[in-house]
Structure 1
Amino acid sequence: MKDYEDSVAFLGQWGRFQQVVFFLLCASILPNGFGSFSVVFLTDAPHHHCLVPEVNLTKDWRDAIIPIEVVNGKQQLSRCSRFRLDVVRNLSARGFIPGRDVNLTDLEQEGCVDGWSYSRDVYQSTIVSEFDLVCREQWKQPFTSTVYYLGVLVGAFFSGQLSDRFGRKPVFFATMALQTIFAFFQVFSPSWLAFAILSFISSMGHISNYVSAFVLGNEILTGKPKVLFSSLGVCLGFAFGYMMLPLFAYFLRDWKSLVLAVSLPGLLYIPLWWLIPESPRWLLSQGRVEEAENIVRKAAKWNKVDAPLVIFEDYSIHADESKTHLKQQHNVFDLLRTENIRNTTLIMCLVWFSMNIGYYGLSLNTSQLHANPYISCFISAAVEVPAYTTSWLALQYLPRRLSVVSVLLLGGLLLFFVQLVPESLSELAVALEMLGKLVITSGTSLMHGYTAELYPTVLRNTATGTCGGVAKVGSCIAPFLLQLRGYFMALPHIVLGTVSVVSAFAALFLPESYGRPLPETIEQMPKRESLKCPFCTRREHSNPKVLFERQL
């Protein structure tokens, strides 16, 4: 059967049709960029302490009613307790001076029974100050991020299968609508539980429309524009959206305003339904040859070229046979059906997981780069631009397996080196950590392109969604992994570095896809190239029994 790219070669690689698809799909990724890490600002805890109601207290007692605690060697006001108000009022009324007439350590303390007072130096409000997610309710603060990433995981798992069954375009727009609508509803959340549920549903569309857009572009574009799109286009769209987040958050200090700024841009993408076509590759894989030809003929008009009378001649001849064959719908279990695809899937899931836990671990840890959270977020986002450029160059000129193994080894070594830097050279530690993030981020981009090249059209979105779902387990674990520094400061970097190095050795057993056409069927999927020890090979050849069996 004639290859798809040969069948549409008359279109050229960079006509008006390809340009429209390229830039519109890249633009559709912007909301994913500023939506992914919005939880950093939405769930940040402003400085707070127990609220002291307007009662008759002297200035000395009003200043002393909040106890002083030592946290990490620094003194600060207690966040969850105060001296008993009735006792303080009595002492104040009797004219006692705190610290002179009364030893404050002898006074009984109570919780924040009247609520909390939150600083507005950085934020006007966050969901922490809105729903009092502090003290006994503090566990809800990091759990909000976990709920968000759990929704991303679920969405990645199911959207891939839906896209392979019902098409790239319907799932792309349906998940974009899901992300936009339920993110908007968060503004009206009456409680933290309602906010968390809406966040979970909204995040299911977050990764889903990203993966659908990625696969759609990979299947429509050909040649160098396809490589540019998969390695640089969508990734820079995400990075630019990520860099827009701190700008939104800086000017919109109220959490509801920030949620609106993150959600409402999704409405701008409604007209794209009439501009972005369905994937002709997917239509052909479903035996819908006529629909695929109509899309390509429309593309020919946009590019001002003449289309042949029959574009997919071989596909047309075998259309009935293909439809009969495709009545059996493919699902996630097909990723484990044969030994070749099973081994590839398991290793790819491990590598995706390693890349993701490293990416989110380093991204969330950048909050310590600068006292200003907006500057920290922008630095973390800006690092991704050279990372994605590096990934594009690697996909353009280097074998995939070599690139992935190199990224994992280099990233792991950098994470090991961070812990060896003395505290007096904190700038060097930050530079190494940002270099590590640059390497790991380039690896995440590589994995998207590598996965799309390994898996056939009938399973491409399922595979990308499944690997992305397994990877999101890493994003759920990353916030808790960073808490390990409470036991040993370097432990998070040691864990991340070890996972990265182990995955590098596993990636050696992946098949190579560089320079090969996208597989259309499971049978065309590239097979793993076995790595054998030369000593074992010599022993095998010297064994008379083996030689005799081979001669037979």
Structure 2
Amino acid sequence: MKNYADAVAFLGQWGCFQQTVFLLLCASIMPNGYGAFILIFLTDTPSHYYCLVPDVNLTDKWRESVIPITVVEGNQEQSRCSRYRLDVVKNLSAQGFIPGRDINLTDLEQEDCVDGWSYSKDVYQSTIVTQFDLVCSEQWKQPVTTTIFFMGVFCGSFFSGHMSDRYGRKPVLFLTIGLQTAFTFAQVFSTSWIMFLILLFFNGLGQMSNFVAALVLGAEILTGNIRVLYSSLGSNLSFAIGYMVLPLCAYFLRDWKSLLLVLSVPCLVFIPLWWVIPESPRWLLSQGRVEEAEAIVRKAAKWNKVQAPRVIFEDCNINASKNEKEKFNVFDLFRRKIIRTTTLLLCIVSFTVSATYYSVSYNTAQLHVDPYISCFISAVVEIPAYFSSWMALRYLPRRLSVVGTLILAAMPLYFVHLVPGNLSGLSLTLEMVSKYFITTAFSLMFAFTTELYPTVLRNTATATTSTVSRMGSCITPFLLSLSVYYNYVPYITLASLALLSAFAALFLPESFKQPLPESIQQMHQRGRIKCPCITGNKTSVPVEPLDGPL
């Protein structure tokens, strides 16, 4: 009995068909790189802002003194959230009183910034913070904005997985790309913070859902080492390239509306790809649509200029008639003990990986005086991390790789808060080391999850664990805000979660050098939880070769 990889082995691994699918799916992932972190610039607050003073008849001396002086961390600076009562100041100025000589300013009554704020434009021409005045008493809206975005990602991940397993990988991929593009463009026309928030939520619905759909689609079409290359390096490098494009665009486009516009319009080029990117033959077979699967493979054979056999999937180890009648959903991830245990363990690890990844990413983007440099450095660190995950996926057991990267990501976080304030370079280095290892773990988890589940549940499982991981990203803004009270709390919390998840990952099944399971029965064969010291599980299912040359 043949598995899918054996049935399509005549195509080869790196023909014209595979190259086209590989490159186009990678291109479709790039917008996720800048979409995931664009809020770094959209919600950033200018370093200097203070109450706006209308153009009223005041002497120069009074205009300079109308903003109170406060002491912040031992330094004197103008108050950001109050001013002296303007009607009193106007009256004193008209009478010729001089502040500091005739009038003791500390005796004057203060008021809120009733006329708005004046913002520095040294770094940004405008952000949503300056557009909607999300400062002082409204400052709580900044972390809420980021959380609402991740709530959209959370909901999108949940529903897109089930839809993808029911209606196909390809329709969901293009639906989510369309959502992301349309609502990113629509945000440009936001006239209030509430309107921006609603559009941002719908933008989030497509943000990472199309990444998961593209990842699963590529993992199911490609085989052997090329599948590993795509799942670990190709898809993630595309994400990193999009991430690096963000600070470059933001540097030249200091206005938030221009940035959104420029990053949304190019996504329209993905529309024609509907007629080029095929549906997953594995998924079609799982639905009993054998003729459609064979048509795609025969087209691939023409592209690769090879001869297809007369019958391709006659002996393939797929019970098409059974799968055609049986529908699967998210509840099937919890009905059987082995699948339930695997799912719960993956959810724990994914939650921690996501929370740590986004916390470190959003925090390191603020570690340099120049936010554009900070964001670019944070993005560049991901490049070697993705190469590391690729090498780990090729040569190391999955479980060992995940456990090791989680432990190595946790260790630097325990020491960051111990670094003296005058050694900021050392703090930056420690955070970047942690970012490197947690990014490696992030990449490993996507590939690991797709390898553990059968075709009928693969996208549902990947999306479900991704959904749980988004809960981790939702807490990121509030976790980072705790540093205002206790600087060490975010670091200790994240490091402790990483160590706990490393222990949980010890009990996951191993998928190294195993074929992608096509049925729930095959997952059960390899999924029996064994002693963590055992690095692999034996199975009677034929092994898809992963050792051959690229």
Compute the TM-score of the two structures, normalised by the length of structure 2.
0.94
- The yes-or-no answer on 1:252 pairing with 2:270 is no
Q: Which structure 2 residue ranges, 5 or more long, are not aligned?
A: 535-550
Report the Cα offset of residue 325 of structure 1: 4.0
For residue 532 of structure 1, report the CA deviation from its aligned partner.
8.1
User: Which residue of the other structure, out of 438, 441, 456, is the alignment partner of 1:440?
Assistant: 438
CA contact (8 A) 1:42 1:127 kept: yes
Residue of structure 1 equivalent to 2:299: 298
Mapped pair 1:20 → 2:26: no
Match of 1:98 in 2: 99
Once the two structures are superposed, residues 454-495 of structure 1 have per-residue CA deviations (whole angstroms, 9 ceiling, x without a partner) of: 011011101111111100111110111112222321111110
Aligned to 1:288: 289
Query: Which residue is equivalent to 2:138?
Result: 137
1:420 CA drift (Å): 2.9
The residue that corresponds to 2:117 in the other structure is: 116
Encode CA deviations 1:69-118: one digit per residue, 9 max, x unaligned: 22233222111110001111111112211111111111000111111111
Deviation at 1:530, TM superposition (A): 2.2
Which runs of structure 2 are paired with 1:131-280 in the superposition (5 Å)?
Answer: 131-280=132-281
Task: Give the whole-Å Cα distance in 1 for the aligned partners of 2:478 and 2:320.
Answer: 48
Structure 2 letter corresponding to 1:463? A
Runs of 4+ aligned structure 1 residues displaced above 6 Å come to none
- Structure 1 residues 49 and 533, CA gap change in structure 2 (3 angstroms): closer
Q: Structure 1 stretch 326-335 or stretch 415-424: which is displaced more?
A: 415-424
Residue matched to 2:545: none
Contact persistence 2:507–2:532 (CA under 8 A): no
SS in 2 for 1:368: coil
What is the distance in 2 between the residues matched to 1:286 and 1:445?
A: 29
Read off the aligned partner of 2:114 and give its amino acid letter: V
Partner residue in 2 for 1:420 = 418
Which amino acid counterpart does residue 375 of structure 2 have in structure 1?
C
CA distance in 2, matches of 1:527, 1:81: 62
SS of equivalent residue, structure 1 residue 28: helix
Q: What corresponds to 2:376 in structure 1? A: 378
Amino acid at match of 2:309: P
User: How far did residue 43 of structure 1 move?
Assistant: 1.1
| Cα deviation, residue 142, structure 1 | 1.5
When structure 1 is superposed on structure 2, of 468-477 and 413-422 the one drifting more is 413-422
User: Could you tell me whether the CA contact under 8 Å between 1:352 and 1:470 is conserved in 2?
Assistant: yes
Structure 1, 69-78 or 376-385: larger mean CA deviation = 69-78
Displacement of 1:337 after TM fit? 0.9
Tell me the SS of whatever aligns to 1:70.
strand
CA distance in 2, matches of 1:193, 1:298: 49
Classify the secondary structure of the residue corresponding to 1:62: helix
1:140-174, CA deviations, whole angstroms, 9 ceiling, x for partnerless residues?
Answer: 12211111110001000110100000000000001
Contact preservation (8 Å) 1:512, 1:528: no
Match of 1:314 in 2: 315
Matches within 5 A, 1:322-333: 322-333=320-331
**Distance in 1 between residues matched to 2:305 and 2:209, nearest whole Å:** 34
Matching residue's letter, 1:363: S
Indicate the residue corresponding to 1:527 in structure 2. Answer: 527
For residues 461 and 364 of structure 1, the distance between their equivalents in structure 2, rounded to whole angstroms, comes to 28
Post-superposition shift, 1:417? Answer: 2.2
Tell me which residue corresponds to 1:54.
Answer: 55
- 1:491-530 mapped onto 2 (5 Å cutoff): 491-525=489-523, 526-530=526-530
Distance 1:216 1:296 in 2: 14
Match of 1:33 in 2: 33
Q: Equivalents in 1 of 2:70, 2:420: separation in Å?
A: 28
Aligned counterpart in structure 2 of residue 452 of structure 1, from 437, 450, 456? 450
Contact 1:131–1:191 under 8 Å retained in 2: yes
| Cα deviation, residue 508, structure 1 | 0.6
Structure 1 residue 413, shift from structure 2 partner? 1.3
- Give identity over the alignment, percent: 64
Structure 1: tracts of 5 or more residues without a match = 535-552
Q: CA deviation at 1:533?
A: 10
Separation in 2, partners of 1:325, 1:159: 20
Match of 2:538 in 1: none
2:265 aligned counterpart, secondary structure: helix
In structure 2, distance between residues paired with 1:533 and 1:337: 27
Give the distance between the partners of 1:489 and 1:170, measured in 2 at CA.
Answer: 45
Asked if the contact 1:293–1:311 (Cα under 8 Å) also holds between the matched residues in 2, the reply is: yes
Per the alignment, residue 550 of structure 1 pairs with none
CA distance in 2, matches of 1:52, 1:529: 68
**Paired letter, 1:284:** L
Instruction: Check 1:138–1:532 CA distance in 2 against 1; reply closer, same or farther (3 A cut).
Output: closer
Is 1:490 aligned with 2:491? Answer: no
Corresponding position of 2:547: none
Partner in structure 2 of residue 7 of structure 1: 7
Q: Contact 2:366–2:374 (CA<8 Å) still a contact in 1? A: yes
Q: Deviations over 1:497-518 (max 9, x none)?
A: 0000011111110000000000
**Paired amino acid for 1:409:** I
| 1:281-309 deviation per Cα after TM superposition (whole angstroms, max 9, x unaligned) | 00000000000000000000000000000
Query: What is the identity, as a one-letter code, of the residue corresponding to 1:464?
Result: T
Q: Tell me, in whole angstroms, the C-alpha distance in 2 between the residues paired with 1:463 and 1:518.
A: 14
Deviation readout 1:394-418 (Å, 9 max, x if unpaired)? 0010000000010111111121122
Contact 1:169 1:277 in 2 (8 A): yes
- Where does residue 473 of structure 2 map in the other structure? 475
> How far has the Cα of 1:262 moved from its partner?
1.8
Contact 1:510–1:528 at 8 Å: present in 2 too? no
Question: Corresponding residue for 2:343?
Answer: 345
Q: 1:524 to 1:255 in 2, by over 3 A?
A: same
| Matched position secondary structure for 1:212 | helix
* 130-139 or 182-191, larger mean C-alpha shift: 130-139
**Residue type of the alignment partner of 2:142:** Q
- Paired residues of 1:26 and 1:237 also in contact (CA < 8 A): yes
In 1, Cα distance between equivalents of 2:519 and 2:262: 42
Secondary structure of 2:243 counterpart: helix
Distance in 2, Cα, partners of 1:332 & 1:531? 28
1:45 maps to what in 2? 45
Greater displacement, 107-116 / 237-246:
107-116
Letter in 2 for 1:214: L
Structure 1 distance, partners of 2:249, 2:77, is 30
Matched residue count? 531
SS in 1 for 2:113: coil
